[in-house]
Amino acid sequence: MVEQLAVRMNVPGRYTDMREMLAEVRPDVVHIATPPDSHVFLATLALEAGCHVFVEKPFALTEADARCITDCAARVGKRVSVNYLYNYEPPGLELERLLSKGALGDIVHLDTHYGYNLAGDYGLAVMSDPNHWVHRLPGKLFHNVLDHVLAKVMAHVGDDVQAQVLSFRRREPSGDPVLDELHDELRFMLRSDKLTVTGYISAHGKPVAHTLRVVGTRDSVELDYTTRTLVHSASWSQPASIGRLFPAFVQARQFWRNGWRNVGLFRRHEYHYFQCMRVLLNRFYDAVEDRGADPIPPEHILRVCRLIDTLVVGMRGQA
């Protein structure tokens, strides 16, 4: 695979030994896109060689492993980040703007949904191979996608979190014990001081969901990361039955504006699937060159990993 990629992209160097690559190339930044059980070794090796590091999610298998990486980065004075890309989709950036203005007030509740298509390319790879690395994760299938669910809410959640978890397999048994151990439906509820969070991961719900609802004391918004829309929740401000006529038109106008904004992004070549990763990487490289702050602070990375640990403990023993 390394050889095929190098030929296709005209990359002169290809290595199967990390130490050899670091010694010969001496890169400024290393991107780690290997299975997560190798992240601590590879990330600390790169950091100690003087490289900044960008890590694919899951950042690490546990919070303890994640702390090994972030502590090493702090010790050697290098930047480390993780691919929490969906915060940088157009609706995520619009939410960032609203929150910076205080437009929503204090956040009361967040509801985060994520669908997983077991019939898609990646789902088929996991389900057809009992030796796939996803089966080695402490949280199995969910461990690989919980970052997408939790990264959107971590800025609002404190360190003291109460959690309730429900995890189960909805599909029929296959007879393979490794595959049948893989749950495909997850629900959880978190409380952090006065804030609550509900989360939902489903391999069966259709259409495949990827949404976030943010409820504030001043206003609430609903984000759809698949359609790249953000709309303010309907507000009933007119009296009696007449008041129920207007919200649908107000909502329609918001979707219309979202649609035209997306057309503009498309025309500027800023609408492709990984445009959000481009925004995140630009911010990461700005931080590397001391032109901005870390796009994802280490404490947020550790908080996500800590909460995944908590949810994994809650999943164990559930049928």
Kindly report, residue by residue over 127-138, the tens digit of the pLDDT. Answer: 888 899 999 999
Tens of pLDDT, residue by residue over 26-45, are: 999 999 999 999 999 999 99
CA distances for 10 relative to 1, 18, 31, 141, angstroms: 14, 20, 18, 35
**pLDDT of 294 over the 90 cut:** yes
User: What local confidence, expressed as pLDDT, does residue 142 receive?
Assistant: 92
pLDDT at 281 over 90: yes
Percent of the chain residues past pLDDT 70, beyond the cut: 97
Q: How confident is the model at residue 239 (pLDDT cuts 50, 70, 90)?
A: low
DSSP element (H, E) containing 189: strand 185-192
Q: Where in the sequence of the chain do the CATH 3.40.50.720 domains occur? A: 2-82
pLDDT of residue 12: 83
- pLDDT at residue 191 is higher than 80: yes
Residue 181 has pLDDT above 70, yes or no: yes
The pair phi, psi for residue 75, each rounded to 5°, is -65, -40
Give me the pLDDT at residue 174, please.
87
Triad 57, 198, 93: Cα angle to 5°: 55
Location of each CATH 3.30.360.10 domain in the chain: 87-315
149-165: average pLDDT: 90
- For residue 266, give every residue at least 6 positions away whose Cβ sits within 8 Å of its Cβ, in sequence order, or none: none
- What's the average model confidence in pLDDT over 41-57? 97
Span 195-209, mean pLDDT? 93
pLDDT of residue 121: 84
Question: Between 191 and 242, whose confidence is greater?
Answer: 191
Q: Which helix (H) or strand (E) holds 64?
A: helix 63-76
Task: Give the number of other CB atoms < 10 A from CB of residue 121.
Answer: 7
The pLDDT, as a whole number, for residue 248 is: 84
The arrangement of secondary structure in 87-315, i.e. its CATH architecture, is 2-Layer Sandwich (3.30)
CATH of segment(s) 2-82: 3.40.50.720
